[in-house]
């Protein structure tokens, strides 16, 4: 199942969305606790967040990883073993298994988080 979560919708709902600060790569202090960027290409950031997080927190993690860099997509996994160790040049560089094991992806230029819930037995 894929869930789309828009940051624009958060602002409309009266929820405060923190502003991202300009930087090329995410600083450890800018990311939520338990999150770290494993690698980054010009477009893609590979992030692991080991702490359980709601979608709103994943949005903030994605924003922090991109800063003001566009285009930027942040793929987020809860388990480092599922994430690629090297960021692909674009979204097409991920395998189907990597996509289905991700928690989701923050797409900065659309201000949108797409949540991925794997259907598991």
Q: Could you please report the per-residue DSSP string of 72-104? A: -EEEEESSTTTS-SS--SSGGGS-HHHHHHSSE
CB 33 within 8 A of CB 93: no
**Distance, CA of 56 to CA of 69 (rounded, Å):** 20
Q: Which of 98, 104, 99, 85 lies closest to 38, judged by CA?
A: 85
Minimum mean pLDDT range among 27-41, 56-70, 100-114: 27-41
Residue 76: per-residue pLDDT: 98
> What does DSSP assign to residue 82?
T
**Distance, CA of 52 to CA of 19 (rounded, Å):** 22
pTM over cut 0.85 = no
Is residue 118 very low, low, confident or very high in pLDDT (cuts 50, 70, 90)?
Answer: low
Cβ neighbors of 109 (< 8 A, separation 6 or more) are 70, 71, 72
Dihedral sign for Cα atoms in the order 114, 117, 60, 105: negative
Residue 121 forms part of a structural domain: no
Task: Show the domain range for 92.
Answer: 2-116
Domain count, the chain: 1
pLDDT in tens, 87-112: 999 999 999 999 999 999 999 999 99
């Amino acid at each position: 199942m894929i869930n789309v979560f828009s940051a624009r919708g958060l602002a409309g709902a009266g929820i405060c969305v923190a502003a991202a600060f300009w930087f090329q790569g995410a600083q450890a202090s800018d990311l939520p606790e338990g999150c770290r960027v494993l690698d980054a290409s010009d477009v893609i950031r590979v992030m692991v967040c080991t702490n359980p997080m709601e979608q709103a927190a994943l949005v903030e993690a994605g924003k922090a990883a991109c800063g003001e860099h566009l285009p930027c997509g942040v793929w987020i996994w809860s388990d480092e073993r599922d994430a690629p160790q090297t960021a692909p040049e674009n979204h097409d560089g991920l395998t189907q298994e990597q996509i289905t094991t991700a928690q989701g992806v923050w797409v900065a230029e659309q201000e949108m988080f797409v949540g991925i819930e794997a259907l598991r037995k």
